[in-house]
Amino acid sequence: MLSKKIHYLFKNYFEIAAFSMGLLLLVLMDPEAANGPSLCLFDQLGIKFCPGDGLGHAIAFIFEGEFYKSFNSNALGGPAIVILVGRIGYLLHQKLIANKTIKI
């Protein structure tokens, strides 16, 4: 019963949960603070260039209201928030209002 419920929640709300959790963590993050261990897989593999470099900092700077620093960190920080919030909103609309959840 419980595993069915978890399965249902996972199927329907995993993407919403993943993206909103990511944004929430970036709201709480202090962009000026020094990095902990890098989470970037490119970094771990020893590749220096990454197109997403500084994206997390860019998003965190926007939540602090420092748009110039955000743009310097990664130009796509602002658009990323808009697109992600749009996607989360679309999914929530689908699940809750259009009622398109996946039945077990």
Partner 1 sequence: MAQMIDYLPELEGDEAAYISKLMESMDEDKAQKFTRVYRARRKEPQIVLLTTLVGFVAVAGVHRFLLGQIGMGILYLFTGGLCFIGTIVDLINYKSLAFEYNRDVAQEAVTLIK
Per CB under 8 A, residues contacting partner 1 are: 11-12, 14-15, 18-19, 22, 39-42, 50-52, 55-56, 74, 76, 79-80, 83-84, 86-87, 94, 100, 102-103
The minimum distance between CB 84 and partner 1, in angstroms, equals 8
b/e 29-55 (16+ beta carbons within 10 angstroms → b): bebeeeeeeeeeeeeeeeeeeeeeebb
Min dist. Cβ of residue 61 to partner 1 (A): 15
The residue among 32 and 83 lying less far from partner 1, judged by its C-beta, is 83
Specify the residue, 31 or 56, whose C-beta has the smaller distance to partner 1: 56
Nearest distance in Å: CB 74, partner 1: 8
DSSP element (H, E) containing 91: helix 77-92
| Distance (Å, whole) CA 25 – CA 23 | 5
Residue 56 Cα distances to 38, 42, 100, angstroms: 11, 14, 31
Nearest residue (CB) to partner 1, 49 versus 68: 49
Cβ closest to partner 1, residue 64 vs residue 101: 101
Other Cβ atoms within 10 Å of 58 Cβ, number: 26
